[in-house]
Amino acid sequence: MKKEVKDILSKYLEQNKMRKTVERFAVLDAAYSFDTCFTMEELKTLLEYRSFPISRATLYNSLKLFKRLKLIICHKLQQGTKYEAALSINSNCHQICTLCGKVSKIDSKEISSIVWNTRLKRFHMDSFSLYVYGMCSNCVAKQTRKRNRNNKRRVQTN
Amino acid sequence: MKKEVKDILSKYLEQNKMRKTVERFAVLDAAYSFDTCFTMEELKTLLEYRSFPISRATLYNSLKLFKRLKLIICHKLQQGTKYEAALSINSNCHQICTLCGKVSKIDSKEISSIVWNTRLKRFHMDSFSLYVYGMCSNCVAKQTRKRNRNNKRRVQTN
DNA sequence: GTCAGTGCAAACTTTTTGCAACTAC
DNA sequence: GTAGTTGCAAAAAGTTTGCACTGAC
């Protein structure tokens, strides 16, 4: 895990007179070990695998804290809640496959700049999330193969 | 409710040999009576108020159907799931107050056009949702008043 | 008359809460 | 030592499911 991330948590805990517990740092480290989105269950499993069994309550508490510190972001998707390590990001764009649920980042400075420069009515923006829905190329290919098989079968039975 | 909306449901049910039940149309009508986002509970309450008590299972079933038909959209927010009547929209932008949870639409052709024209890697887009987080002007004002009060008190006690 | 759709209750999943025990300070 | 945290279990909230009954066709 990046030292930077640990330091942010450490500093925040000091400044707010909160305790530097082993659990908080273990959860943060685990969260930053995934190179993509993870679920609460996956996080719990990883920690158990690392011989650090932890209660759900503590996981939820820690993640709530990390969210506030912008050390992670939380996606409430149709297929359930996913978390993602993301240092101090206040704008994020993701593409989500509606078939397999895969989530990947989109990098676009144009989108960011347009959104930040949008004039909002009676509102003060401090972050945004963009979710693009559709199908990943894997699922498109899978669907095409399936369609081809069905067409063949139809031809054969005719 | 717009005749158009009813017709879309009606046609879909016919084409898919599904039944035109009183419940489905009552739920659709209720969903389109809100002029803003609504929760499942609010929808149930409205229907009860209209002397049309309905079970949660049927509500979930109906809303799932309407989602598929793009007659409503579903927002999974931190403060819970909210639904919204929205006819055949496949791109939507909303601003969400992180204090009071108020959701309002953002109308921006620039954002839409930029997102639709973004080249995505290994992905075929068919819709998107943009969520802008921050504070609505009501909550900004409330916070300012609170801060002023606290400052006054601090001055008096000094 | 038939079977898709509904109501109800139970099950299940996800998240929160209350409280005793623990431990970082 | 003590108050902030944790673990556990129970509760709450949100959603899905199984099954008997109903009503749209």
B108 touches chain A (CB under 8 A): yes
From residue B70, how far is each of A98, B8, B107 by CA, in Å? 14, 10, 19
Q: Where are the alpha helices (DSSP H) in chain B?
A: 3-15, 22-31, 40-49, 56-68, 109-116, 137-157
Report the half-sphere exposure of B59 (CA within 13 A, side-chain side).
Answer: 19
Q: Chain C: nucleotides under 7 Å from a protein CB?
A: 4-10, 13-18, 24-25
What angle is formed at CA B66 by the lines to CA B65 and CA B70, rounded to 5 degrees? 120
- Residue entry with tokens 């879909």: B12
Residue B18's pLDDT is 96
pLDDT greater than 70 at residue B57: yes
Query: Where does the pLDDT of residue B150 fall: very low under 50, low under 70, confident under 90, or very high at 90 and above?
Result: confident
Q: E strand or H helix at A26, and its extent?
A: helix A22-31
At residue B122 the predicted structure's pLDDT band, cuts being 50, 70 and 90, is very high
d(CA A51, CA A31): 15
Which pLDDT score is estimated for B88?
Answer: 80
* Residues A130, A131, A132: CA angle, nearest 5 degrees: 120
Which nucleotide is nearest, taking the CA of residue B26 and each C1'?
C6
Interatomic CA–C1' length for residue B157 and nucleotide D13, angstroms: 44
Q: In sequence order, what DSSP letters do the residues of A77-120 get, joined into one string?
A: ETTEEEEEE-TT-SEEEEEEETTT--EEE---HHHHHHHHTPPP
Contacts with A110 (C-beta within 8 Å, 6 or more apart), sequence order: B114, B118
Which residues are A93's β-sheet partners? A130
Contact A133, B126 (CB under 8 A): yes
Does pLDDT of B154 surpass 70?
no
User: Are the beta carbons of B114 and A114 separated by less than 8 Å?
Assistant: yes
Percent of chain B topping pLDDT 90: 83
Nearest CA in chain B to A125: B134
pLDDT tens for each residue of B102-112 = 999 999 999 99
The whole-angstrom separation of Cα B66 and Cα B31 is 10
The C-alpha atoms of residue A55 and residue B153 are separated, in whole angstroms, by 42
Residue B125 structure tokens: 């887009």
Q: Which residues touch strand C (CB under 7 A)?
A: A 13, 19-22, 40-41, 56-57, 60-61, 64, 80-81; B 13, 18-19, 21, 23-24, 53-58, 61-62
Binding-face residues of B in 122-141 toward A, CB within 8 A: 122-138, 140
**What is the helix (H) or strand (E) element at residue B75, kind and residue range?**
strand B72-77
Cα–Cα separations (whole angstroms), residue B18 to A123, B26, B58: 44, 16, 15
Cα B10 to chain centroid distance, Å, stands at 23
Average pLDDT, chain B: 92
What pLDDT, on the 0 to 100 scale, is given for residue A155?
A: 67
SS3 category, A37: coil
- Are the C-beta atoms of residues A127 and B133 closer than 8 Å to each other? yes
pLDDT higher than 90, residue B10: yes
Question: A96: which 2 tokens?
Answer: 């989500």
- pLDDT recorded at residue A24: 97
Has residue B155 got a pLDDT over 80?
no
The answer to whether A130 and A115 are in contact (CB under 8 A) is yes
* Angle, helices A40-49/A56-68, rounded to nearest 10 degrees: 110
Q: Residue B153's pLDDT is what? A: 64
**Mean pLDDT value of segment B45-62:** 96
Spans of chain A, pLDDT less than 50: none
* Residue range A32-41, pLDDT digits in tens: 999 999 999 9
Average pLDDT over residues B73-80: 94
> What's the confidence (pLDDT) of residue B90?
84
Query: What average pLDDT does range B119-134 have in this prediction?
Result: 95
pLDDT of res. A153: 66
pLDDT of residue B149: 83
